[in-house]
């Protein structure tokens, strides 16, 4: 019965079909019946299509036998085009929206993450929904569902919210919907964990010194084999304040032993080697202690990158591996608190100011555009000696 229905549909739509050969490829030329619906932008009832199959006598006989079926298949495919759909679904525009967003983004290292979010967190709910039928209640229901997931933070949900909003914004911009329901939904919610305050989550200057001066005398054979790598890495981190991705992407060409300078021009984020977070090249002075450690670590190597993944012979695409392989064992052996590796950057800022280095200098080394960012997020003011500050301020009344 299904086959008879297909034959009936074909005869009601396809009037005539001709198979022909052009440039050694089999193509079809067909006309639809006068009452057949035409795709948008089409005024005549004649259509052409390539089968993409190389010409041969046997192949031509096959297509002659099935030419009406191929003609109907091609004709119906024309209406799957987004512009020819009466009511596009979320899935029809989702990837187009993200592709456009990527083309307008300076950096592309977040693209894979957005695609994962679309596939895993948004598509299961919205993919098959018609855009015009997505309501505020649907988005709020999705938000509540996300809130039930274990330990999801507000910042992580914000990324998911962005992906959903980008698709709906694109739909509005291109006339597929008249209003965007997501504008009536607040992304912040008590459902999600707030970002942990980092005011005290730094190393003290004494702890920093303990790490830098470590000789691994109490370590195992495995610890000693890893010592030069992590000791050098920690010197770079503590004495320049760079981001973990920036350090992981450092090459020996970025080091100038003649001028004692380190250039940060690239960074690794989510496996992608890209520009720095601020999209700017940053040059940081290299103190003598760091220069000495780097020279020793370099030796006679001909490797391009400083911190090599022994398994690949290149840089670490996943900086988490540095934490698991080198950093965590070091912290455990030295019996120090479990502080995330990224906070070596915060430690640099706070210890520098504690030692009297001007905040403007610290901010420049960190690559911040203003000292307000440095003050708000990177300084643990409580650790700074108030007597030192008072002595510095005495000059005001001198």
CA geometry: angle 297, 302, 303, nearest 5 deg: 75
Q: Do 137 and 260 fall into the same domain?
A: no
CA distance 16 to 32: 7
The answer to whether residue 396 is domain-embedded is: no
pLDDT band at 53 (very low <50, low <70, confident <90, very high): very high
Fill in the DSSP letter of residue 306.
S
Q: Do 169 and 311 fall into the same domain?
A: no
pLDDT band at 246 (very low <50, low <70, confident <90, very high): very high
- The whole domain housing 365 covers 205-389
pLDDT digit string, tens, across residues 59-117: 999 999 999 999 999 998 888 777 667 788 999 899 888 888 776 555 555 577 888 99
- Looking up residue 170, the CATH number of its domain turns out to be 1.10.150.130
Q: Do 331 and 262 fall into the same domain?
A: yes
Q: Tell me, what's the pLDDT at 98?
A: 87
Q: State the total domains in the chain.
A: 3
Collapsing DSSP states into helix, strand and coil, what is residue 196?
Answer: coil
* Other Cβ atoms closer than 10 A to 308: 15
Please name the residues in contact with 92: beta carbons below 8 A apart, sequence gap of 6 or more. Answer: 82, 85, 131
* Closest CA relative to residue 244, chosen from 319, 309, 328, 316: 319
pLDDT band at 382 (very low <50, low <70, confident <90, very high): very low
Backbone angles phi, psi at 250, to 5 degrees: -65, 140
Last residue of a domain, one of 152, 184, 216: 184
Please name the residues in contact with 308: beta carbons below 8 A apart, sequence gap of 6 or more. Answer: 314, 315
The answer to whether residue 190 is domain-embedded is: no
Residue 205 has pLDDT above 60, yes or no: yes
248 and 342 in contact (C-beta within 8 Å)?
A: no
Cα pseudo-dihedral 222, 226, 227, 231, rounded to 10? -150
Q: Do 96 and 210 fall into the same domain?
A: no
pTM over 0.75: no
pLDDT digit string, tens, across residues 331-369: 999 999 989 998 999 898 888 888 888 888 888 888 887
pLDDT digit string, tens, across residues 171-189: 998 888 999 999 999 998 8
Q: Tell me, what's the pLDDT at 391?
A: 61
* Closest CA relative to residue 354, chosen from 377, 388, 329, 321: 388
Last residue of a domain, one of 84, 113, 140: 84
CA distance 214 to 208: 10
63 and 21 in contact (C-beta within 8 Å)?
A: no
Q: Which residue is listed with tokens 């008879």?
A: 4
- Looking up residue 374, the CATH number of its domain turns out to be 1.10.443.10
98 and 61 in contact (C-beta within 8 Å)?
A: no
Q: Do 168 and 99 fall into the same domain?
A: yes
Residue 2 has pLDDT above 50, yes or no: no
287 and 239 in contact (C-beta within 8 Å)?
A: yes
């Amino acid at each position: 019965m299904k086959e008879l229905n297909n034959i009936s549909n074909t005869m009601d739509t396809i009037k005539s079909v001709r198979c022909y050969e052009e440039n050694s490829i089999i193509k079809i030329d067909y006309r639809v019946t006068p009452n057949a619906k035409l795709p948008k932008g089409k005024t005549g009832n004649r259509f052409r299509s390539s089968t993409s199959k190389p010409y041969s006598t046997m192949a031509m006989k096959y297509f002659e036998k099935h030419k009406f079926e191929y003609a109907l298949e091609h004709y119906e495919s024309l209406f799957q085009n987004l512009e020819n759909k009466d009511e596009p679904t979320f899935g029809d525009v989702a990837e187009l929206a993200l592709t456009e967003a990527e083309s307008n983004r300076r950096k592309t290292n977040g693209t894979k993450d957005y695609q994962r979010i679309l596939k895993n967190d948004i598509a299961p709910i919205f993919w098959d929904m018609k855009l015009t039928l997505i309501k505020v209640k649907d988005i709020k229901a999705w938000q509540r569902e996300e809130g039930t997931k274990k330990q999801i933070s507000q910042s992580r949900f914000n990324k998911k919210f962005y992906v959903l909003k980008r698709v709906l914004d694109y739909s509005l911009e291109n006339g597929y919907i008249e209003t965007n329901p997501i504008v009536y939904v607040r992304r912040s919610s008590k459902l999600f964990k707030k970002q942990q305050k980092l005011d005290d989550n730094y190393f003290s200057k004494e702890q920093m010194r303990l790490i830098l001066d470590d000789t691994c005398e109490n370590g195992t054979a495995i610890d000693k084999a890893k010592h030069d790598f992590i000791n050098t890495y920690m010197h770079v981190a503590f004495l320049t304040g760079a981001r973990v991705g920036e350090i992981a992407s450092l090459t020996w060409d970025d080091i100038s032993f003649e001028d004692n300078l380190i250039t940060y021009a690239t960074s690794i984020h989510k496996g992608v080697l890209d520009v720095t977070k601020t999209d700017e090249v940053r040059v940081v002075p290299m103190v003598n202690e760091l220069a000495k450690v780097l020279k020793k670590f370099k030796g006679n190597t001909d490797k391009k990158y400083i911190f090599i993944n022994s398994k690949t012979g290149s840089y670490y695409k996943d900086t988490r591996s540095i934490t698991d392989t080198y950093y965590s064992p070091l912290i455990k052996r030295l019996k120090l608190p479990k502080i995330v590796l990224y906070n070596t950057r915060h430690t640099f800022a706070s210890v520098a100011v504690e030692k009297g280095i001007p905040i403007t200098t610290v901010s420049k080394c960190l690559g911040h555009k203003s000292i307000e960012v440095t003050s708000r997020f990177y300084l643990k003011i409580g650790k700074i000696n108030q007597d030192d500050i008072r002595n510095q301020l005495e000059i005001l009344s001198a």
